[in-house]
Structure 1
Amino acid sequence: MLLGSNLGDTKSNLNQAIAKIENCLGKIIKTSEMIETQPVEFESTNIFCNIAIGLTTTISPYSFLNAVKSIEKEMGRELDSSAVGGYIDRIIDIDIVTFNNINFESKKLKIPHHKHLCEREFSKALLDSLNIK
């Protein structure tokens, strides 16, 4: 998973999201360092703080996505990029990048997350530090 925040206390936002993920979704087994990055695919003066985590879970990808969206909403994210039609500043963004080495595609979820695995250098670096491909 990749998490990002570019509003408010970004490091605190990430730590809060990680705690909620571990409480609701599974045991975190790997954590990358936190890094700061420029916004990607939209203009903003707010810098992102990003982190990658690996965890074990027993729930399905779709249930996992619903839980992730609930965490984002609980933390103050009102709309995701699909509802807005593009990227905007956000208090928290949680992306499922891989899931038990499966390929999964629905209207709301595609695994693996191609942009993070292949296009975004910061994502690839964070995931590489966890040995996640």
Structure 2
Amino acid sequence: MSQHKVILLLGSNIGDTKKNLETALDTIRKSGIEILKLSEFLISQPVEFVSSNIFCNIASIISTSLSPIQLLDFVKSIEFEMGRINDSKAIGGYTDRVIDIDIIKYDELNFTSERLEIPHKKHLFEREFSRVLLKDL
């Protein structure tokens, strides 16, 4: 199976946010997915919704044999297992969350479906905290 280089962006603004990110990264690692590089942790304000809870974020480059949809299903399963009940796409907006894992890039693939858009244009071009994290990689 061929390996694909993928950029993930993880964020949390409920509970022990740094520990939540470390738990999600450990789950990714334990599944056999190789984490090639990690950015520094970054603290940021919520974007596109109002909350008094600040975010802790991290970016990661991984190597995986999973297809984009298989990877999406996998990261959504991590979110669910960690207690995330509201998916932003499903509810049509953003709320506080224990964990959020976004697929930002997948090789040089351009892919759009009802559930997934690669590359993730908001993180690449619109969100300042994302650009700071991705610059680290």
Moved more, 120-129 or 37-46: 120-129
**2:115 match:** 108
Whose strand fraction is larger, Structure 1's or Structure 2's? Answer: 2
Letter in 2 for 1:2: L
- Unmatched tracts of structure 2, length 5 or more: 1-7
Give the structure 2 partner of residue 73 of structure 1: 80
- Residue in structure 1 matching 2:58, options 30, 51, 69: 51
Q: Is the 8 A contact 1:25 1:59 kept in 2?
A: no
Matched AA of 2:44 = T
Check whether the contact 1:38–1:47 (CA below 8 A) recurs between aligned residues.
yes
Q: How many residues align?
A: 130
Look up the SS of the partner of 1:97 in the other structure: strand
1:21 and 2:28 matched: yes
TM-score (norm 1): 0.95
1:25 touches 1:64 (CA, 8 Å); kept in 2? no
Q: Structure 2: which amino acid aligns with 1:28?
A: I
Cα distance per residue 1:34-60 (max 9 Å; x no partner): 010000000000000000000100110
Runs of 4+ that moved beyond 3 A: none
1:129 to 123, 132, 136: 136
Matched, 1:11 2:18: yes
Question: Is the 8 Å Cα contact of residues 25 and 67 (structure 1) preserved in structure 2?
Answer: no
TM-score between the two structures when normalised by the length of structure 2: 0.93
**Partners of 1:48 and 1:99 in 2: CA distance:** 24
